[in-house]
Amino acid sequence: MSAPMVGAHDEESIMSEVKRLNWSEIAPEGAKALFGIHQYVTQKTNLPEELIHLVFLRVSQINGCAHCIDMHTRDLLKTMPIDKVALIPVWAEVPHLFSDQYRAALAWAEEVTNVSITHASDDAYAAAAAAFVPKDLVDLTLVIAAMNAFNRLGAPFRLPVAAKP
């Protein structure tokens, strides 16, 4: 039997993937701490739930976390039409679809997620600070940081997706 070609996606190559650890079972105290941050950002801020899921999805798209993209797309589709959800990766090209505050949140999410490149520029900070009161800007940044942390566990440990073939 020959090895599957690099990039092949037939059933055999999918079944031969290395089984990855379940990070939350291996480090339950770490999982509890991370889920505590998640609980704070989803339940104890003044940010709209839809905005939080929008940011969760955009950060996950940038980081390429299949599990989180799948989950947060489903969450966002509960309140946002599919036409808008489909265009989130190119939100800046369709500004009429997103409010000023949503666009500011998306821009800040991209800036913070790519901080090693952007260094959270003064211009980006000023734009985000103009759209959010100080507490909401800090909470938005915590939303972004939390999702980046989850993506850095979800992607390398290949958390499963709910989507079926």
Average pLDDT, the chain: 91
Q: What is the pLDDT of residue 1?
A: 36
Q: What is the pLDDT of residue 59?
A: 98
Could you tell me what percentage of the chain is helix, strand and coil, using 3-state DSSP and rounding each to the nearest 5? 70, 0, 30
Q: CA-CA distance, 63 to 111, in Å (whole number)?
A: 13
Q: What is the pLDDT of residue 70?
A: 97
Taking the chain, what is the end-to-end CA distance rounded to the nearest angstrom? 25
- pLDDT tens digits for range 47-103: 999 999 999 999 999 999 999 999 999 999 999 999 999 999 999 999 999 999 999
Instruction: Say which residue, 122 or 7, is predicted with more confidence.
Output: 122
Q: What is the pLDDT of residue 110?
A: 98
17 pLDDT more than 80: no
12 pLDDT more than 70: no
